[in-house]
Amino acid sequence: MTVLALAARRATEAITRFLPAALLLGALVVGWELWVAIRRTEPFVLPAPSRVWRAFLDNRHLLGEHTITTMYEAVLGLGAGAGAGVALAVLIASVPIARQVLYPIVVASQTVPMIVLAPLLVLWFGFGLTPKIVVVALITFFPVAISTAGGLMGADREFVDLFRSMGASRRNVLRHVLIPHAIPSFFDGLRIATAYAVAGAVIAEWTGAEKGLGIFISRSQASFRVDQIFVAIAIVALLSTVLFLAVGGLARLASPWRYLHTSTPPPHQRLESP
């Protein structure tokens, strides 16, 4: 298969995959526009999509800097949260006493609303970049830790015992058996975390910042510019989607065996065929 044919096939697969969602989104936008026009809803209650688009064009010179700031905080916080999650997962999976002590505490920590904890982080770390990264890391580390721990503890025990019987140390078992088995689970958790990373950065910016989509939303709310709020919401959704797709691409590189498609029939079907 030539490169052009392969690229054409992948483009066709992408269109087939995302076309239904795009059509549904388009239908919702059209319905939204018609609803506002028919009901004559005030813009400060529910602006029409056309008005939201005009608000984007009017503020595009400001949105670039705000978007870059929020994305920077989200990516750094996501990286810190993923690193902390992996470290905690390895500890939970490797040390039984740590699993008994830390697992309930980690679960209970997720009951604390981040909107309550964020002002305390500002008080402790100031109004700079640090509290924003900490907020995003605290939001994103939990799904990574739980998914990765499940992948580490779900490895085939017979294979682990066989590897140990061959003289492998605990570190070698972790490196050559448990971690490869947990890679798909890690990326599953990371995908979930990306859905919250950008929103976490926005929440952190509400408590005090100079730039970012959170500040843009706060200022728009104070001036009753609901159309600008919808612009920021759309950008947050777009950034989250970009992060999600980027993590999906990394997952394909790290665990390509999960995405292999083959037309070869299973062994039992080959045996039954004449």
20-43 pLDDT tens trace: 888 898 999 999 999 999 988 888
- How many degrees, rounded to 5, is the angle at CA 6 between CA 251 and CA 3? 110
Contact 229, 160 (CB under 8 A): no
The pLDDT confidence band at residue 3, using thresholds 50, 70 and 90, is low
Q: Is the pLDDT of residue 67 over 60?
A: yes
Per-residue CA distances from 165 to 90, 158, 162, 170, 192 (Å): 22, 10, 5, 11, 37
Of residues 163 and 90, which shows the higher confidence score? 90
Contact 213, 205 (CB under 8 A): yes
Report how far Cα 258 is from the mean position of its chain's Cα atoms.
Answer: 19
pLDDT digits (tens, 9 = 90+) for 93-123: 888 888 888 888 888 888 888 877 878 887 8
Residue with tokens 């505490």: 105
pLDDT digits (tens, 9 = 90+) for 12-26: 776 777 788 888 989
CATH class of this structure's domain 55-256: mainly alpha
The pLDDT confidence band at residue 6, using thresholds 50, 70 and 90, is low
Q: Is the pLDDT of residue 172 over 80?
A: no
> Letter for the amino acid at 270?
R
User: Residue 11 has which token pair?
Assistant: 């483009």
The pTM of this model reads: 0.80
- The secondary element (H helix, E strand) that includes residue 86 is helix 49-94
The pLDDT confidence band at residue 269, using thresholds 50, 70 and 90, is very low
Residue with tokens 């900490």: 134
Residue ranges covered by each domain of the chain: 55-256
